[in-house]
Structure 1
């Protein structure tokens, strides 16, 4: 069984993230959407809430599941027997940012990173922008699934 880990903060998960999960799910037997906990970042949602939101947004019977870690992604990958890390790219700037991390991860563990081009129609969607729009009462329905939109509206009431 091939296992891939798709790490991110997913604060919150967007349609862009879900698109990358779905693309990865066609390439691997199991995909783990891994919520990373970064102590230097102030997340809106707890890791548990982000895992719950991802899980609620996955189609029934999906070979994608959500989990969280506060450790190194590569250590998590080794522990679950993952053969790849999957990262979604929105454009060239994302590749420049992700390249060094991919090389470092491969050197540490031998695990390669697979870059997946996301849907071009979602290229502009970023969690930080979605939160900003939601914070100001804007319509976020085309950027996030309904469960996420409800959670964001609740946070910013």
Structure 2
């Protein structure tokens, strides 16, 4: 019996991408034949970088990762996943708070589109990190060197210096 090709999407706003996100990408790429980092446009989140800028930053970081790509999308994640013929949605979990929200989302996605969600626990050193927290630390001039990649630090500093 031939092995089934498995395509996963890893959706998020990634505003900005963190080392925690990269941890999930690097661990997730070992589980799937193809992993698409799907940068969403959130109508409810106040975003610092455009989706195109976020795609650029992520593309720099994943260029040497086999089977990993990045693209922006609009609309419902589950519809995007269906359009991309994804077999699963990959999500990272940081805490029990994440579990409750993500479980509800996973059940809804399965009911609406029949797509499964696979969860990866983030590594302990990134379990507290969020893009919102990163933006807050950056706006107050804090050190982000252990939390986000260097290219993202530079772009974030440039963006905040313009404000």
Q: Counterpart of 2:126?
A: 122
How big is the alpha-carbon RMSD for the aligned residues of Structure 1 and Structure 2? Answer: 1.0
For the pair 1:147 / 2:134, whether they are aligned, the reply is no
The one of 87, 90, 96 equivalent to 2:94 is 90
Deviation at 1:61, TM superposition (A): 4.0
Deviation at 1:105, TM superposition (A): 0.4
For residues 61-118 of structure 1, the C-alpha deviation after alignment (integer angstroms, 9 at most, x for no partner) is 4321111111111111111110000000011110101111100100111100001111
Aligned pairs for 1:37-48 (under 5 A) are 37-48=41-52
The one of 9, 12, 20 equivalent to 1:16 is 20
Structure 2: segments with no counterpart, 5+ residues = none
The answer to which of 54-63 and 93-102 deviates more is 54-63
Runs (4+) of structure 1 exceeding 4 A deviation are none
For 1:156 and 1:62, locate their aligned partners in 2 and report how far apart those are by CA, in whole Å: 33
How many residue pairs are counted as aligned between the two chains? 157
TM normalised by structure 1 equals: 0.96
Aligned pairs for 1:46-125 (under 5 A) are 46-125=50-129
Deviation at 1:12, TM superposition (A): 0.2
SS of the aligned residue for 1:154 comes to: helix
For 2:148 and 2:142, locate their aligned partners in 1 and report how far apart those are by CA, in whole Å: 13
For 1:129 and 1:42, locate their aligned partners in 2 and report how far apart those are by CA, in whole Å: 13
For 2:28 and 2:142, locate their aligned partners in 1 and report how far apart those are by CA, in whole Å: 31
